Amino acid sequence: MELHTLKAHELQDKLRKKEVSATEIAQSFLKRIDAVEDKVQAFITRTPEAALAQARRVDEKIARGERLAPLAGLPGVLKDNICVKGTKTTCGSRILENFVPPYDATVAARLAGQDAVILGKTNLDEFAMGSSTENSAFFTSRNPWDLSAVPGGSSGGSGAAVSAAMALWGLGSDTGGSVRLPAAFCGIVGLKPTYGRVSRYGLVAYGSSLDQIGPLTRDVRDCALVMGAIAGHDPLDSTSVEAPVPDYTKALVPDLKGMKIGIPKEYFVAGLDPAVEKAIQGAIEQLRSLGAECREVSMPHTEYALAAYYLIATSEASSNLARYDGVGYGHRGQGNDIVAMYKRTRTEGFGEEARRRIMLGTYALSSGYYDAYYLKALKVRTLIRQDFDKAFDQVDVLVAPISPTTAFKIGEKVEDPLAMYLQDVCTVPINLAGVPAISLPCGFSGGLPVGLQIIGRPLGEEALLRAAYAFEQANDYHRRLAPVGEV
């Protein structure tokens, strides 16, 4: 059996039993990357030497009989909007093409503290704006289940790397679905934690009131492992929640007795692919047979979520992206005076979608339009949050689709931004409300995975992991490997 086909928890076990060394694990993944990366194109930057050096340090610790942290020696990848000291962090943008951060993001520091092995930085839509990686300034990543399809976005590089067995785990960021959508399209597990559960320090900001870092993994146990490593209070992030981090692996029990599950009818939107709907309905039946009590609930403001999201996210983006002016760091264009320099810098540095959003957000925040757009969107956000509060008075978790369709073809939606935005209809309400949600595979349609979404109360990650684990164990989707063009 090849090591790269195993799960993180399986390799953790083998490492502890000294059946394999950390160096052998790292080498197996580096070999796999050499074999399939040309086809998948998940990485912006690879760091093989650093990975092998880290693996050797783990082997030395093992030789000295030292205790290992849970992720020690287990190789993973980071989305390229998460700062790693001394490693290029581009955000998929020309404007940061040569940016080398002088500091580590808190999640990167925590992973280093666990002796995790980092294989590299992965592709994304520019500044995490998109649903397919087609907005990356560099290239489009491919879906390991069908190389002519997108892997989802914006954390598509991390999703593709994990799904193609080039990494055991990946980190992504989720502002409106960017961890969950690639997980769904690539047939793996992705968790958007509660807002504030994972530190955003060192994550390049897109929509600061929505952004949250989360894991992409091959199964639910691995998701629990990575969450345990990255969650927790951070004084460097003022929005970070001060609550103890539970041992998430304790939540993994294979039955759902006593769990109340709500099915929000508004998530079964017009335009939902019948094959996706069938897979979700099948999953609900299965959850019922595992002991859960399922009932329909109503979340009446859901239909306004997409519009509110695209006003709030673009407004925050227009403000966050104002810092790229060619002065402090990043690309600088030539100009005879400072205004000409700013203009050249930003015209050359930002791609079309980033520019569209900067303009939309600037418009929504400008005087005279602020009340009509931005403020109104904030009020809608409150109503959506109240829908969740009311639903969670009746049930423990909610179940819905992740996306109305399976992975679409590369090029299919690039000319139509609104069609692209519609991909996010089932994921953005969760970010607006700040609650956690997990995506996991619940079926296949035409050879492509379908994602199931389970949504929880604030800080209710354990309930999500429990429901997801019970469902996963009753199926075999997590045992299937993506063909990566080999069929």
Helical pair 305-320 and 352-365, crossing angle rounded to 10 deg: 100
177 near ligand GLN, judged by CB under 6 A: yes
116 near ligand GLN, judged by CB under 6 A: no
Strands 189-192, 213-217: pairing kind: antiparallel
Tell me the window of 51-59, 67-75, 97-105, 167-175 that interacts with ligand GLN (CB under 6 A): 167-175
Q: In terms of CB distance, is 130 or 349 closer to ligand GLN?
A: 130
134 near ligand GLN, judged by CB under 6 A: no
CB of 205 to ligand GLN, least distance (A): 11
Sign for the pseudo-dihedral over CA of 118, 119, 120, 123:
negative
Burial of 362 per CB tally in 10 Å (0-12, 13-18, 19+): middle
Characterise 130 by phi-psi region: left (phi > 0), alpha (psi -120 to 50), beta (else). left
Residues binding ligand GLN: number (CB under 6 A): 14
Could you say which of 78, 149, 251, 313 contacts ligand GLN (CB under 6 A)?
313
CB of 250 to ligand GLN, least distance (A): 29
CB of 81 to ligand GLN, least distance (A): 9
H helix and E strand count, the chain: 15, 11
CB of 428 to ligand GLN, least distance (A): 7
CB of 129 to ligand GLN, least distance (A): 5
Could you say which of 130, 182, 215, 330 contacts ligand GLN (CB under 6 A)?
130
Separation in Å, CA 169 to CA 187, 246, 279, 324: 13, 20, 25, 31
Tell me the window of 124-132, 163-171, 229-237, 362-370 that interacts with ligand GLN (CB under 6 A): 124-132
CB of 291 to ligand GLN, least distance (A): 33
CB of 100 to ligand GLN, least distance (A): 23
Tell me the window of 18-26, 123-131, 253-261, 321-329 that interacts with ligand GLN (CB under 6 A): 123-131
Q: What are the catalytic residues?
A: 79, 154, 178
The secondary structure of residue 371, as a DSSP letter, is: I
Could you say which of 222, 424, 461, 462 contacts ligand GLN (CB under 6 A)?
424
93 near ligand GLN, judged by CB under 6 A: no
Strand order in the sheet with 169-173: 43-46, 117-122, 75-79, 169-173, 213-217, 189-192, 437-445, 448-456, 397-401, 260-264, 293-297
Residue pair 391/384 in contact (Cβ under 8 Å)? The answer is no
465-481 burial: b if 16+ Cβ within 10 Å, else e: bbbbbbbbbebebbeee
174 near ligand GLN, judged by CB under 6 A: yes
157 near ligand GLN, judged by CB under 6 A: no
425 near ligand GLN, judged by CB under 6 A: no
456 near ligand GLN, judged by CB under 6 A: no
178 near ligand GLN, judged by CB under 6 A: yes
361 near ligand GLN, judged by CB under 6 A: no
Sign for the pseudo-dihedral over CA of 311, 316, 320, 322:
positive
Residue pair 377/307 in contact (Cβ under 8 Å)? The answer is yes
Q: In terms of CB distance, is 203 or 299 closer to ligand GLN?
A: 203
Q: What are the strands, taking DSSP E only, across 117-212?
A: 117-122, 169-173, 189-192
Q: In terms of CB distance, is 214 or 449 closer to ligand GLN?
A: 214
Burial of 348 per CB tally in 10 Å (0-12, 13-18, 19+): middle
Q: In terms of CB distance, is 286 or 362 closer to ligand GLN?
A: 362
Q: In terms of CB distance, is 51 or 128 closer to ligand GLN?
A: 128
Could you say which of 12, 106, 131, 249 contacts ligand GLN (CB under 6 A)?
131
Residue pair 137/93 in contact (Cβ under 8 Å)? The answer is yes
Give the C-alpha separation, 393 to 375, whole Å.
28
Q: How crowded is residue 174: how many other Cβ atoms within 10 Å of its Cβ?
A: 30
CB of 451 to ligand GLN, least distance (A): 14
Residues lying near ligand GLN in the complex (CB under 6 A) are found at: 128-131, 154, 173-178, 206, 313, 424
